[in-house]
Amino acid sequence: MKSFKLLTSFFFGISLTSSPLLAHSYKGEVIPQICAPHNWTGFYAGVNAGFVQQTMDITNIDATTFNATLVQQTNPRLTGGLQIGYRKQIDMTRTSAVYGAELSANFSDASFSKTYGGPFALYQLDSDHNLKDVVLLQLMDGLAIDKTLLFLSAGAAWTRTTGTTTNISNVPFFTSFSVNKNQLSPAIGAGIEYAFTDKISARFKLDYIPIHSYSTSDDIGDSFEVSSNIVQATIGVNYVFAC
């Protein structure tokens, strides 16, 4: 019994003397802080700039003027525009799904001009077209890894194209026909975005727009099928307004 009392007193004394030492050591210790992951939820707006390229195929359906397809591909031209949207992050873990919607409008003058045939050929044509506007309304789905966001987009595109093909030979075929068209088409895209601060982020986005084929006629009633596609690559900056 006496041994038990001595043992109890020994451990009690150690606990009393060690408590201030432990308290002192914890007081001077720097405890690392764990930063919360970036929150992608919120309304945002931004600007972008990049390059756009349009490929247009014109086929003479009746084969009365030229029995071929005129392939017209613009060189990559500068484009610039604006975007607004909203994103929602599923949860605040370091890796999380993000979904949202975005409306963007880009303006350019991606032009093409070429003369087909020649003075001694069956035909001689001056052909040109210009891509003016690309407006996208897309749903977006992505994966946020802290400050980095990988995303895919899909939706609709509104495009405005102008152009004319003119017969400049002496052969009495048509005079001219127009490829002017405002058209609604599907659009798909993908991109990556990085948040530098809680409010400001930068991104790269690539969009592909397969425009539906349509028909046009010249001044004597011959029909032509016009099909095209658009590739647009932009770098942008976004500012988040509120969650």
Terminus-to-terminus CA distance in the chain, angstroms?
A: 68
- Does 194 have pLDDT greater than 60? yes
**Angle at Cα 115 formed by Cα 169 and Cα 64, nearest 5°?**
50
What is the reported pLDDT for 94? Answer: 87
Confidence of residue 172 (pLDDT cuts 50, 70, 90): low
For the chain, the maximum distance between any two Cα atoms, rounded to a whole number of angstroms, is: 129
17 falls within a domain: no
Element (H or E) spanning 113, and its range? strand 95-117
209 falls within a domain: yes
Q: CA-to-CA distance for 80 and 233, rounded, in angstroms?
A: 10
71 falls within a domain: yes
149 falls within a domain: yes
Q: CA-to-CA distance for 81 and 44, rounded, in angstroms?
A: 15
81 falls within a domain: yes
Q: CA-to-CA distance for 109 and 239, rounded, in angstroms?
A: 27
178 falls within a domain: yes
Q: Mean per-residue pLDDT for 28-32? A: 53
Nearest partner of 201 among 160, 144, 156, judged by Cα: 144
What is the reported pLDDT for 8? Answer: 46
**Angle at Cα 65 formed by Cα 63 and Cα 69, nearest 5°?**
65
Q: Mean per-residue pLDDT for 181-196? A: 95
6 falls within a domain: no
Q: Mean per-residue pLDDT for 122-136? A: 86
- Specify the number of domains making up the chain: 1
* Average pLDDT over the chain, rounded to an integer: 82
What is the reported pLDDT for 173? Answer: 65
- Does 78 have pLDDT greater than 90? yes
Q: CA-to-CA distance for 57 and 53, rounded, in angstroms?
A: 14
CA distances (Å), origin 86, targets 39, 99, 178, 199: 13, 9, 39, 13
Tell me, what CATH number does 231's domain have? 2.40.160.20
Q: 36 by DSSP, 3-state: which?
A: coil
What is the reported pLDDT for 59? Answer: 84
Q: Which domain holds residue 226?
A: 42-242
154 falls within a domain: yes
- 232 vs 223: which has the higher pLDDT: 232
**C-alpha gyration radius of the chain:** 32
Q: Mean per-residue pLDDT for 81-104? A: 95
Confidence of residue 121 (pLDDT cuts 50, 70, 90): low
